[in-house]
Amino acid sequence: MKLDEFAAKIRESDEIVVFTGAGISTESGIPDFRSPGGIWTRYRPVTFQEYMTSEVARIEAWKRRLDGWEQYRAAKPNVGHYFIQALSLKEKLIGLITQNVDGLHSMAGLADDKIVELHGSNRKILCMSCTKEFAPEPIINSLVGDFASPKCDSCGGILKSATVSFGQAMPEQAMRIAQGWTEQAKVFIVMGSSLQVQPAASFPVVAKRNGALLAIINREEGPLDGLADFVHNGSIGEFCGKFGEMIADG
Ligand code: NAD
């Protein structure tokens, strides 16, 4: 399908689901995982089991968080995030399913009931014993010098970012909502995901199987490009800037 056909489809559709990965936030200054210079090229992941049983692993995870902190604090939504919010304003969006934990879709003004964060959020820290919630900033600021991993001020439990680590169960409610939206979608747009992480990468396949038009916007080629009706291999920011105007003009 050509670009103008895809634009026509978006103009006429009010049952769109967008699925985002780390690639939508690189233009906000947050590195993705698998590109050169991405997080996995610099750190080994700490699994949930390691985090819960090893102080050394927890300290490693907090050091990683400290390392990315300034970048994360400075990050603002970009044209890609605003493009999705504009679809919602035009009442075209069933919902946004994201693998990202950076909270930039909310910051762009997308309502909470339009967002499913499959891998949780970095904007909250949780006690793993009593589930008390903490804002990240004071905790990060307390990590100075030769620090111990932070503990809950109510019960002494282990604190952890409210993100889903390797080896940790996917949040059930989020998965249920994402599955429902995917089955309803008439247009399913993937933006900035290498589609290598399961179960997240299965959503576009389910959408396509249910008759949705599948579009993929990603810098690199990916495993589902052959299945998609529309593929654009390039920058999300550039694409959304131009495409947003095309839809608005139509
Ligand atoms: P990924 O790193 O596996 O893939 C990102 C994809 O986006 C790559 O294929 C890359 O080519 C593409 N990309 C990068 N910048 C782009 C741009 N400006 N325009 C178009 N394409 C671009 O990321 P993923 O698929 O989301 O996978 C995995 C995991 O990464 C998820 O579990 C997620 O939780 C985690 N993660 C999240 C963040 C975040 O919240 N911002 C950052 C890093 C990793």
Query: Which residue type sits at 99?
Result: Q
Q: Whose CA is nearest to atom 39 of ligand 1?
A: 100
Residues involved in catalysis: 119
Tell me which residue has tokens 């247009």: 187
How confident is residue 231, by pLDDT bands cut at 50, 70 and 90? very high
218 lines ligand 1 (CB under 6 A): yes
Q: What angle do CA 80, 84, 85 make, to 5 degrees?
A: 115
Place 35 in a pLDDT band, splitting at 50, 70 and 90. Answer: low
Give the contacts of 132 (CB within 8 A, at least 6 positions apart).
126, 152, 154, 155
| Cβ atoms within 10 Å, residue 96 | 28
C-alpha–C-alpha distance, residues 65 and 215, integer Å = 33
Structure tokens, 233: 């291999």
Per the CB < 8 A criterion, the answer to whether 215 and 193 are in contact is no
Any atom of ligand 1 within 6 Å of the Cβ of 207: no
Provide the token pair at 123: 């904007």
Lowest mean per-residue pLDDT among 78-82, 169-173, 210-214: 169-173
Peptide bond between residue 199 and the one before it cis (omega within 30 degrees of 0): yes
How would residue 249 be classed by pLDDT, with cut points 50, 70 and 90?
A: low
pLDDT at 248: 83
pLDDT over 90, % of the chain: 85
CA gap 162, 110 in Å, rounded: 20
Complete domains list, the chain, with CATH: 1-30+76-119+170-250 (3.40.50.1220), 31-74+120-163 (3.30.1600.10)
d(CA 166, CA 48): 6
**Nearest atom in ligand 1 to 195's CA:** 25
Return the pLDDT at 103. 96
Beta strands 133-134 and 120-127, pairing class: antiparallel
CA of 159 to the centre of ligand 1 (A): 26
pLDDT interval class at 59 (50, 70, 90): very high
Residue 163 CA: nearest ligand 1 atom is 34
Whether 23 lines ligand 1, by a CB cut-off of 6 Å, is yes
pTM: 0.93
User: Token pair of 214, please?
Assistant: 């599948």
Both structure tokens of 8: 């026509």
